[in-house]
Structure 1
């Protein structure tokens, strides 16, 4: 699960997309904004606006953002995984990591950076949690704007407070089929499905299906090539052969379905990967990815296809 979280962090610089998410001003501390789904309250930085497609704030003029998210997973295990090696696997550089306190709870502060889109992004994060769930607040700024934004973003991280949780629906619907949705994931734009509804999966052979809305005003030229490139960027996998690329239309949105054979980088387990990428006219994309051990490919390919076909926006 940590590897999936790190893969998600790599895309945090991307901003803006449809689907408004729930946040509210904390009554007890008017200067803080509470994100009930995540269970955290933070200060809204000056000059930043409420993000519409992820939990947090954004400043489109600079590409800076503050994102809050939660995942099911022990705090100790998740934070131990934030190493130079783990971050380097996704093109990120760890600069520092130290213990901290979040309103009396044990926490960790991490400072790292990432090269993306021809520039360097600096990231400051605070993580806290318990034996079941880990909450993260990450502030991101292009390096060129960091001298002006650094103090403001670090003030946001210093303001982090745990808050009561109250889950709200995702901005899309999809039928589970034979898989079960993992509870406790709170990013505002992602749903994760496994055989027993638990993460991490026992082995790379076990099926996993992920549905995610892009968190960026992504500029897509050649859609077919973009979908292909995204498949080859699937976290912690090595794509060995692309088996097929097929145009699809789901929920009135055009896109491409791709099927490939690859390997899990760590265990070298043979995998079947299934990807559907849909492209709304207003920009961004919907990404649905299924993966399972090659020995179970025949059993799960049809199930991945069936799940993807049920995708629909809640607004419809």
Structure 2
């Protein structure tokens, strides 16, 4: 699993330890930016009017694996142009500070990206802003992310920072939180030891729902674009309501690309007023009759918070 993005550091700079706060849902402490608001759809801070944000992503991958994607070519594949890279330290933790550029929605964006970690997990802190706004904003964002410190031994509640809750089921146990997503596995362990056993991902989207016109088509297209499966056959697609959410439910059979085994997928998209959520539950196709109801129970337990 790979995740990526951007940052910088100044020599002789001193951190005011009295000013830092832990970012909700993470092991990162930082001087909270007064010019941004706490984000609702991801872990970090944002100014939604101008698309400025600071996003923190913690991933269960060694830093050497994560850094494999931070090459000029690797970033270019994602539409990112690497402007500079610097070796720095956040306290005693070595980090890479990168400055990147990309274009989205016909606008130019600059990103500062901090990447650091150890042999089991990594942290990516991205500060992004419209390039045309100002050098002053760029400097403020850079200075803010440079206050970040990693409290890697701190304990964080599994649901802290997530905009939803779900319940465990007979065959699905809470295993891991990755950014805005919650992973459930058959025995509560992660990485998933045996993908022949059922597992689920529940995730909040970073996008607004006002960008979506045809929800049924959007949900179907979203699943069909997956690179995890081939020989995809949608068995059914239905619309329902859950609490105050509109829900699209797809039942699918497909071949897992890595294992070449047939899978049954219960794929749901839940549309709220300002954002949407995805629940993707997967099991061996031969277990469809036994597990379909249980996957439905996971969906039924979903609560927006």
Same fold (TM over 0.5): yes
How big is each residue's C-alpha offset from its partner over 1:195-220, in whole Å with a ceiling of 9 and x where there is no partner?
23233324655543111222333313
* 2-structure distance, mates of 1:117, 1:294: 40
Task: Name 2:12's counterpart in structure 1.
Answer: none
| Deviation (angstroms), 1:232 | 2.8
* 2-structure distance, mates of 1:62, 1:72: 31
Q: Say whether residues 1:72 and 2:60 are aligned partners.
A: yes
Matches within 5 A, 1:95-244: 95=82, 99-112=87-100, 116-145=104-133, 149-163=137-151, 165-168=154-157, 169=159, 170-177=162-169, 178-183=171-176, 185=177, 187=179, 189-202=180-193, 205-219=196-210, 220-234=212-226, 236-238=228-230, 240-244=232-236
- Aligned partners of 2:30 and 2:148 also within 8 Å: yes
| Deviation (angstroms), 1:66 | 0.2
Larger Rg: 2
Gaps of 5+ in 1: 10-27
Decide whether aligned partners of structure 1 residues 297 and 121 sit closer, same or farther in structure 2, where only a CA change above 3 A counts: farther
- Aligned partners of 2:53 and 2:129 also within 8 Å: yes
Q: Secondary structure at the match of 1:65?
A: strand
Q: Say whether residues 1:56 and 2:44 are aligned partners.
A: yes
How big is each residue's C-alpha offset from its partner over 1:225-280, in whole Å with a ceiling of 9 and x where there is no partner?
22223223446445733332101222342211012344545565544332111122
Q: Secondary structure at the match of 1:182?
A: strand
Q: Secondary structure at the match of 2:66?
A: helix
| Deviation (angstroms), 1:144 | 4.2
Q: Say whether residues 1:260 and 2:252 are aligned partners.
A: yes
- Aligned partners of 1:36 and 1:165 also within 8 Å: no
Q: Say whether residues 1:310 and 2:276 are aligned partners.
A: no
- Superposed CA RMSD: 3.3
* 2-structure distance, mates of 1:53, 1:108: 26
Q: Secondary structure at the match of 1:62?
A: coil
| Deviation (angstroms), 1:112 | 4.6
Decide whether aligned partners of structure 1 residues 29 and 212 sit closer, same or farther in structure 2, where only a CA change above 3 A counts: same
- Aligned partners of 1:124 and 1:139 also within 8 Å: yes
Q: Say whether residues 1:286 and 2:277 are aligned partners.
A: yes
TM-score with structure 1 length normalisation? 0.75
Q: Secondary structure at the match of 1:167?
A: coil
| Deviation (angstroms), 1:136 | 2.3
- Aligned partners of 1:278 and 1:286 also within 8 Å: yes
Decide whether aligned partners of structure 1 residues 54 and 41 sit closer, same or farther in structure 2, where only a CA change above 3 A counts: same
- Aligned partners of 2:24 and 2:43 also within 8 Å: no
* 2-structure distance, mates of 1:85, 1:196: 38
Task: Name 2:11's counterpart in structure 1.
Answer: none
TM-score with structure 2 length normalisation? 0.77
